[in-house]
Amino acid sequence: MAADGYPIETVRIAQFADPRHVVPYAFPIGPSRTWHHRYAQQVEIGHYGQLCLWYPYDPARLVWNWSRGLVGFVAIAQRHLWFEEYYRRTGFWPVEDAPHGHRADNRPHPVRHRAARTGSFAA
């Protein structure tokens, strides 16, 4: 990534004591720039919103949970930051992209790529 000029990114990871927040959040810290997958109005620390790391209604194999360990969460956040920079440079998200917002029926969006359906993309 350094050879391609990707910037060094800093993310604050926060776990709240409030039981409604069962997973940690990743908040980018750094210069102001555009983000493709970041919540604007969700939980915030300072003025940076949390990264949107997965679609909440996806099957469990595609959504991080504590059984995957904190290192797994950090790997997802790291990959997300790389994807964000790729998107800024090209205008394309480099993997299958879930839509933003929630479906009225709270069902997952249809996963088209076979590796994503089997969970082999999940960290």
In whole numbers, what is the pLDDT of the chain averaged over residues?
A: 76
The answer to whether residue 97 is domain-embedded is yes
Number of domains in the chain: 1
44-66 confidence digits (pLDDT tens): 444 457 888 887 777 777 788 88
Instruction: Over range 9-25, report the average pLDDT.
Output: 78
The answer to whether residue 26 is domain-embedded is yes
Q: In terms of residue numbers, what domain contains 16?
A: 10-118
Q: Which residues contact 14 (CB under 8 A, 6 or more apart)?
A: 24, 25, 27, 43, 45
The answer to whether residue 3 is domain-embedded is no
Report the alpha-carbon distance of residue 110 to residue 33 in Å, rounded.
30
100-117 confidence digits (pLDDT tens): 655 666 666 666 665 554
Based on the number of CB atoms within 10 Å of its own CB, is 76 exposed (0-12), middle (13-18) or buried (19 or more)? Answer: buried
> Has residue 41 got a pLDDT over 80?
no
The answer to whether residue 108 is domain-embedded is yes
> Has residue 118 got a pLDDT over 60?
no
pLDDT band at 20 (very low <50, low <70, confident <90, very high): low
